[in-house]
Amino acid sequence: MANLFPPFLKSGDTIGIVCPSGYMAAERILSCVHTLKSWGFRVKIGRTVGSDSLNYFSGTDAERLDDLQAMLDDDNISAILFGRGGYGLSRIIDQISFKKFKKSPKWILGYSDITLLHAHIYANYEIATAHSPMAGAFADAGTDDIYINSVRDLLTGEKQNIACDPHPFNRRGEAEGELMGGNLTLLAHAVGGSSDFKTKGLILFIEDIGEYLYNMDRMLYQLREAGKFQKPAAVIIGSFTDMKDTERPFGQNAYEIIRDFLEDFEYPVCYGFPVGHVKENFELKCGADYRLKIGREKVLLEEM
């Protein structure tokens, strides 16, 4: 059974843009603002966008918390699109009040560090969110970009069916279940905390960027020890970009590590799915019901 869906948007509704983690220059959201307005939406920009912060973060913990809280509590905001990820939500996640959000949910859109927010809402409130391109991605894409336009499809209630080419490592099969996942580092970080969630019966997806291969391997085993890979309905492997190696090589690339790690399990697995820290990053509804078909000729993920 799918989780509660926030209301989809109509023309004239307002989308808030905030940066609860890393710093982002204000000019990076200009293309996004223009595109959202061309789709018929209003835009409200948070104080953390282009803040006067002098360090990595888009403001102090208190400033980032206040900005996000204001967007969550504002009855005139119908969706929150994050400017970028990075790091920082972990420092404030347990201070966020979801009291008003529970009563009046709105779409939460983002990925990377935002994975922790998706996980927290899924684990505690059973409300669907969206793993999606963020405001910064609009600056590097044209108006006909299918990945950016998947954000519009989400906001207006269009169901998403995504096809991709098969990968040699794929384990063919079909599965149905709620879709949940995101950034591997944040999923491992969530284990044992207030944002941890059970994966039994889920279609679980993972992606990452910039990690050392040995650290990625360690996180996989951490999640395995926490029971996360034992009983999902299927696993989707997105992009693992800019992975780093040690002076003495680990000996495998990211997909080879995952292939060998998952060989003890029998559920369907697909690799090379268009989600992650790349241009090819489709919107996925976390907590929605999907059907995954991994065939010889193609892979198809259908929202049910």
Within 183-229, residue ranges assigned H as helices are 184-190, 213-225
* Region of residue 192 (left: phi > 0; alpha: psi -120 to 50; beta: else): left
| pLDDT tens digit at each of 304 positions of the chain | 468 999 999 999 999 999 999 999 999 999 999 999 999 999 999 999 999 889 999 999 999 999 999 999 999 999 999 999 999 999 999 999 999 999 999 999 999 999 999 999 999 999 999 999 999 999 888 778 999 999 999 999 999 899 999 999 999 999 999 999 999 999 999 999 999 999 999 999 999 999 999 999 999 999 999 999 999 999 999 999 999 999 999 999 999 999 999 999 999 999 999 999 999 999 999 999 999 999 999 999 999 9
- CATH fold for domain 161-303: Glucose Oxidase; domain 1 (3.50.30)
Whole-prediction pTM:
0.96
The packing angle between helices 213-225 and 254-261, to 10°, is 20
CATH of span 14-155: 3.40.50.10740
What residue ranges of the chain are covered by domains with CATH 3.50.30.60?
161-303
Side chain identity, residue 140:
D
* Nearest to 137, CA basis, from 122, 150, 123: 150
What residue ranges of the chain are covered by domains with CATH 3.40.50.10740?
14-155
Q: No. of H helices and E strands in the chain? A: 9, 13
